[in-house]
Amino acid sequence: MKKAIIIIFCILTCNFFSVSYTLTSHEYFNHIVYAEKELPGFYSIQIPHDIMNNDSTQILHTVENCLDKYQGNLFITKNKDNHYKKYVYLTYAKNQYVKSTPMFDHTFTFNVYHLDKLLSDGYQLEGEVYVTFPNEQSFNQFKNEMNATLHISIKDLNDSGGQVDYMIWIIVCLAAFYFILMLVIIYDLLQNYKLFSIKRLEGYNLFSIGYDY
Res 105: pLDDT: 53
Res 130: pLDDT: 93
Which residue blocks in the chain are alpha helix, DSSP H? 2-33, 56-70, 136-150, 167-191, 193-201, 206-212
151 near 52, Cβ under 8 Å? no
Angle between helices 167-191 and 193-201 (to 10 degrees): 60
User: What is the three-class DSSP state of 193?
Assistant: helix
48 near 154, Cβ under 8 Å? yes
Res 57: pLDDT: 87
CA-wise closest residue to 94 among 114, 78, 76: 114
Mean pLDDT to the nearest integer, 110-137 = 89
List pLDDT tens digits, range 139-164.
999 999 999 999 999 998 875 444 55
pTM of the complete model: 0.64
Q: By 3-state DSSP, what share of the chain in percent is helix, strand and coil, each rounded to 5? A: 55, 15, 30
Q: Hey, where are the domains in the chain? A: 2-21+166-212, 35-156
Res 160: pLDDT: 47
The percent of residues in the chain predicted with pLDDT above 90, rounded, is 24
Angle between helices 56-70 and 136-150 (to 10 degrees): 150
5 near 177, Cβ under 8 Å? no
Cα–Cα dist 154/41, whole Å: 17
